[in-house]
Structure 1
Amino acid sequence: MSTKRNFQGIIPPVSIIFDTNGELDKKGMADVIDFLIDAGVDGLFFLGSGGEFSQMSRELRMEVAAFTTEYVNKRVPVLIGTGSPSTHEAITLSKHAEEIGADGIVVINPYYWPLTEENLLVHYGEIAEAVNLPILLYNYPDLTGQNMSPEFVLKLIEKHPNIVGIKDTIDSVGHIHDMILTVKGKYPEFTVLAGFDNHLLNTLSLGGDGAICASINFAPELAIGVYNAFYENDMETAVNLYKRLAILPTMYKLDSPFISVVKEAMKLKGLDISTHVLPPTRMLDSEKQEKLQEILKKAELL
């Protein structure tokens, strides 16, 4: 297997930009990529939950992966989401990510069917053995219906050394802490990244490595500011920025899925992009847009 790469820091789960026909808007996508790289992110994650992968065909997922990887052109590390309820499809997408030059893949556990631990171990094992890329696990039990415990993760990485980290999208400080103690305690280079904005500072304080959270798409200065201030031991700045960052999850309650909320926030922050979303996600109505503006103002972003 390939040399490990320690993905850490502030990595946005990049919103994918579409035109009104639901096709990839390459100009808008390029503008978003340039904006995020210029802001100082530590990598880019394409085709996560906020990247609408679950609404896409396999062909569209491959098109998005190929374009974004080529356009980034090694300016920052690129992670491609390749998870699927089908092991075969996840392997196909993972091999494609490797072929196009991605730096790593992010693999959410299968959704719809809860799996026995044995079957889940085999699922991830077959993906890990099919590629030489570093792999980040993606734990999002609210959407998949199945939580990955620290003990399960430990079993996986002991068998598959190219599994190098986890995006832990779980609203539980205890779970994140246990992941850090159990897994990083034995494998210090294993990366634990918060998936929710309001868990960034506590994840760093407990020994974690950063975050992959939606607000980075429209307010990268907050998460990056918290991260940099924490490592500069400027806790006053870190806490002040974190207080603003912690306001933002209230906006995700405006709609479900909240993908349209993030795109509208990006546009409000000055990105000239299409806010078209793939069904069943819908555009925000005027009332919700007004509420979004109020939340962004409260966080001092407008």
Structure 2
Amino acid sequence: MSNTLDLKGIIPPVVTLLNRDKTIDEPAMKQHINELIESGVDGLFFLGTGGEFAQVPIHLRKQTAEIAVRETAGRVPVLIGTGTAGYEETKELSLHAQHAGADALVIINPYYWNVSEDHLFSYYQSLADSVTLPIVLYNFPGATGQDLTPDFTVRLASGIPSIIGIKETVDEAGHIREMIIKTKEVRPEFKVFSGFDDHLLNTLTLGGDGAISAGVNFAPELQVGIYNAYLQKDFETAVHLHRKLAYIPLMYKLDTPFVNVIKEAMLIRGKAIQPHVFGPGETLTDKTRGELKDLLAKAGLLSSAVR
């Protein structure tokens, strides 16, 4: 079982860049992948929430996974999100990601149903038995309607060795704290990543391993800077950058789904992309775009020329 992957640090959930006709903009994807790697990230996660996984048709999910592995070319670990609302498609996408050459899978718990813990354990056990790749759990109760509690995650971590970590997309430091303490008591090597940008620093101070959060797409210098400063015990710099990072969750509140905000922020900061998103999202209005510029400026992420 290939479960020894040592994930850590900053692993952005990469946006899925599109042409106007909702095909994959492969040249823009390649450029973005290379720019993220050059910015110092520690891995790349494709087809998460920031990658619009729930809206991307399955054939495009497979194409994105193939582009991701091919362009990254082993420079950093590639994680592919393969979760769906049900088992069969999740297994299909997981086997495809493995065949494509991914380094790990990120699998959100099934949404729509509130699944019993016994069924949920069997779900992950069956997926783990079907692939040889390590699996990172994806806990996003605000979207799925069901929390992967620390106690249940301990059960998964204890019973399924190929489950190596969790992405904690919860806006509660207490939940993250308990997740770190309880999982690392049974498996010290188990990885806990914050899913919201502004929980990176407290996750690190509590003994967690980094962040898998979307703001890195347009402001990698903040989270990469915080992580590196923390490792170097330069806490003054870490706190300074953390206060800038605090504006990013305010940006996400400008619209729902907020992937359009991420893409527009990339565009405003000079990325050569198109801001198209899959439905039910739409591109930002001029008014909201202006509000986004104001927040980017407050976070120190705009030059005076762009303002």
Does the alignment pair 1:27 with 2:37? no
Q: Is residue 13–residue 46 contact of structure 2 (8 Å, CA) maintained in 1? A: yes
Please name the residue that 1:194 is paired with. Answer: 194
Q: Is residue 6–residue 190 contact of structure 1 (8 Å, CA) maintained in 2? A: no
Please name the residue that 2:163 is paired with. Answer: 163
* Structure 1 outlier segments of 4+, above 4 Å: none
Please name the residue that 2:111 is paired with. Answer: 111
Please name the residue that 1:254 is paired with. Answer: 254
Identify unmatched segments of 5+ residues in structure 2. Answer: 303-307
Q: Percent identity?
A: 49
Post-superposition Cα deviations, 1:224-275, rounded to whole Å, max 9, x if no partner, equal 1101111111110000000000111100000000000000001111111011
Structure 2: which amino acid aligns with 1:192?
V
Q: How does 1:1-302 map onto structure 2 within 5 Å? A: 1-302=1-302
CA distance in 1, matches of 2:34, 2:67: 14
Q: Is residue 3–residue 163 contact of structure 2 (8 Å, CA) maintained in 1? A: no
Tell me the secondary structure at the aligned position of residue 50 of structure 1. Answer: coil
CA distance in 2, matches of 1:120, 1:87: 10
Tell me the secondary structure at the aligned position of residue 91 of structure 1. Answer: helix
Give the superposition deviation at 1:296.
Answer: 0.3
Structure 1: which amino acid aligns with 2:263?
K
Give the superposition deviation at 1:31.
Answer: 1.0
CA distance in 1, matches of 2:186, 2:117: 21
| TM-score, normalised with respect to structure 2 | 0.97
Tell me the secondary structure at the aligned position of residue 54 of structure 2. Answer: helix
- The alignment's C-alpha RMSD in Å is 0.7
Tell me the secondary structure at the aligned position of residue 80 of structure 2. Answer: strand
CA distance in 2, matches of 1:53, 1:177: 28
CA distance in 1, matches of 2:57, 2:236: 46
CA distance in 1, matches of 2:160, 2:115: 19
CA distance in 1, matches of 2:54, 2:97: 17
CA distance in 1, matches of 2:55, 2:237: 39
Q: Is residue 157–residue 187 contact of structure 2 (8 Å, CA) maintained in 1? A: no
| TM-score, normalised with respect to structure 1 | 0.99
Give the superposition deviation at 1:166.
Answer: 0.3
CA distance in 1, matches of 2:278, 2:292: 20
Structure 1: which amino acid aligns with 2:239?
V
Give the superposition deviation at 1:59.
Answer: 1.1
Tell me the secondary structure at the aligned position of residue 6 of structure 2. Answer: coil
Post-superposition Cα deviations, 1:60-87, rounded to whole Å, max 9, x if no partner, equal 1111111111111111110000001111
CA distance in 2, matches of 1:39, 1:7: 17
CA distance in 1, matches of 2:55, 2:149: 27
Comparing 150-159 with 173-182, greater Cα deviation is found at 150-159
Post-superposition Cα deviations, 1:72-111, rounded to whole Å, max 9, x if no partner, equal 1111110000001111111111111110100001000000
Q: Is residue 171–residue 196 contact of structure 1 (8 Å, CA) maintained in 2? A: yes
Q: Is residue 150–residue 182 contact of structure 2 (8 Å, CA) maintained in 1? A: yes
